[in-house]
């Protein structure tokens, strides 16, 4: 049985926390293939994961000003023209002039939009380029009434991308982007993830320590599963993750120690970097990473698996319901946000057989199958829905 679902909805204490696909952390250096676009691409991926968990009513919509505020970017920078837009690759000068002329003639028509700003270029890459993973990835796919684990060599994060032009109350045109995430990414947010902090990533992006941070967040989970709080790592790997390219080993060692100190100062992590001699080596250049016992205990003895699954189930149920609502009500205008009271009315008017499909999908995507208890829980959901006056009340069952 599920615990009281309302208890496990996002709170102000956890408003910056989110689950990130482990494949991204495992293969974070693969994003360097995008050169100057790598940082904003990584920020977008974090935004997609964060938005999926914290703003289900607005999921699938990216407002540039909200993205800028949430992820710490200047709106002017996001709007600035990219020097080499991916959408213009392999086009002749004449072809480029022609499509820019069309955009000039029809500025508010998405058919003629050229994705040439810094933000648009990153979105375009995530829609039409695949990220190839150096380390084989893992994901889950729906197989009847089960979620099956499969391997993954590459991923295309967005399967749909469009632009919506909105007219504000002042009569100005506002640009909104709508998108659809790949199922592999969505399923991993529920089943193959590490817990990250949005603000930590934002603060570490400029000093170039976000990749090292994700490595350390991933490592602490591994240590907790191995029932240890310390372990050796690679000097070369850690320096690479921290973008330390100094040749002199003592200077690299000093710089890496400073990187760990900065991560401790700016994030929730409390990690110590120790140094040991390797065999007959004269100098101590073998790094050992050590976490506090408190951090390891928090991971091992924090919220139980049952409680965490309940949180994820409620998010998956809201996702399935809101996506179905969008398909039914908004049709081609996916840039709209959902009003909770209208969603509730739609749910109460909907055929139970159809709602049952969405409920079962949420269960499968959370528990990888349909457990025996799901029948009783689904009955509780419909009983709650029948008398509910608010959406929040409908989802307390």
Tens digits of per-residue pLDDT, 110-152? 899 999 999 999 999 999 999 999 999 999 999 999 999 999 9
User: Rounded to 10 degrees, what is the CA torsion of 375, 380, 383, 389?
Assistant: -140
**For 135-139, 163-167, 350-354, which range has the lowest pLDDT when averaged over its residues?**
163-167
Q: Would you say 298 and 227 are in contact if contact means Cβ atoms under 8 Å apart?
A: no
Of the spans 54-63, 305-314, 327-336, which averages the highest pLDDT? 305-314
**For 202-206, 297-301, 391-395, which range has the lowest pLDDT when averaged over its residues?**
297-301
Rounded Cα distance between 156 and 182, Å, is: 7
The residue-averaged pLDDT of 205-209 equals 95
For 51-79, what is each residue's pLDDT tens digit? 999 887 777 899 999 999 999 999 999 99
**Concatenated DSSP letters of 86-130:** GGGTT--HHHHHHHHHHHHH-TT-GGG----BHHHHHHHHHHH-P
Rounded Cα distance between 212 and 271, Å, is: 12
Q: For position 1, what pLDDT does the model report?
A: 41
Q: Would you give the DSSP letter of residue 234?
A: -
H helix runs in the chain, sequence order? 22-26, 38-54, 64-71, 75-79, 93-105, 118-128, 183-191, 198-205, 210-225, 235-241, 249-266, 293-301, 305-325, 340-349, 352-367, 374-387, 391-394
Q: For position 355, what pLDDT does the model report?
A: 96
Q: For position 15, what pLDDT does the model report?
A: 86
Sign of dihedral through CA atoms 190, 196, 197, 203? negative
The residue-averaged pLDDT of 325-354 equals 85
Q: For position 342, what pLDDT does the model report?
A: 93
Structure tokens at 338: 């959902």
Domain ranges across the chain: 5-201, 213-293, 305-394
The residues that bridge with 139 in the sheet, in sequence order, are: 150
Rounded Cα distance between 121 and 127, Å, is: 10
Q: Report the chain's mean pLDDT, rounded to a whole number.
A: 91
Number of other residues whose CB lies within 10 A of the CB of residue 392: 13
């Amino acid at each position: 049985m599920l615990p009281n679902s309302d208890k496990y909805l996002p709170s102000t204490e956890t408003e910056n926390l989110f689950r990130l696909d482990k494949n991204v952390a495992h293969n974070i250096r693969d994003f360097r293939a995008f050169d100057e676009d790598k940082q904003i691409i990584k920020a977008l991926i974090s935004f997609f994961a964060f938005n999926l968990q914290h703003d289900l009513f607005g999921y699938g919509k990216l407002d540039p000003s909200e993205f800028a505020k949430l992820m710490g970017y200047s709106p002017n920078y996001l709007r600035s023209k990219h020097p080499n837009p991916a959408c213009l690759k392999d086009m002749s000068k004449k072809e480029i002039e022609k499509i820019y002329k069309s955009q000039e003639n029809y500025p508010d028509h998405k058919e003629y939009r050229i994705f040439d700003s810094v933000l648009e270029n990153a979105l375009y890459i995530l829609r039409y380029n695949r990220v190839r993973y150096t380390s084989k990835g893992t994901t889950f796919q729906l197989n009847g009434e089960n979620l099956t684990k499969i391997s993954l060599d590459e991923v295309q994060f967005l399967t749909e991308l469009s632009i919506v032009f909105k007219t504000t109350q002042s009569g100005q045109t506002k640009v909104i982007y709508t998108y659809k995430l790949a199922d592999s990414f969505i399923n991993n947010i529920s089943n193959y993830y590490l817990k990250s902090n949005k603000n930590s990533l934002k603060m570490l992006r400029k000093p170039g320590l976000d990749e090292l941070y994700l490595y350390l967040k991933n490592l602490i989970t591994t240590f907790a599963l191995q029932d240890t709080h310390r372990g050796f790592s690679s000097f070369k790997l850690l320096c690479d993750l921290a973008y330390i390219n100094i040749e002199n080993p003592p200077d690299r060692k000093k710089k890496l120690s400073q990187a760990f100190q900065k991560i401790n100062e700016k994030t929730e992590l409390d990690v110590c970097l120790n140094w040991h001699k390797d065999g007959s080596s004269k100098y101590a250049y073998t790094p050992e990473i050590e976490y506090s016992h408190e951090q390891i205990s928090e991971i091992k003895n924090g919220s139980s698996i049952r409680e965490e699954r309940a949180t994820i189930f409620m998010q998956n149920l809201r996702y399935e319901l809101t996506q179905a609502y969008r398909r039914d009500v908004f049709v081609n205008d996916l840039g709209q946000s959902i009003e909770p009271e209208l969603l509730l009315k739609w749910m109460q008017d909907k055929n139970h057989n159809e709602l049952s499909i969405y409920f079962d999908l949420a269960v499968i995507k959370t528990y990888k199958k349909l457990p025996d208890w799901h029948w009783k829980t689904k009955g509780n959901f419909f009983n709650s829905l029948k008398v509910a006056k608010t959406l929040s009340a409908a989802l307390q069952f």
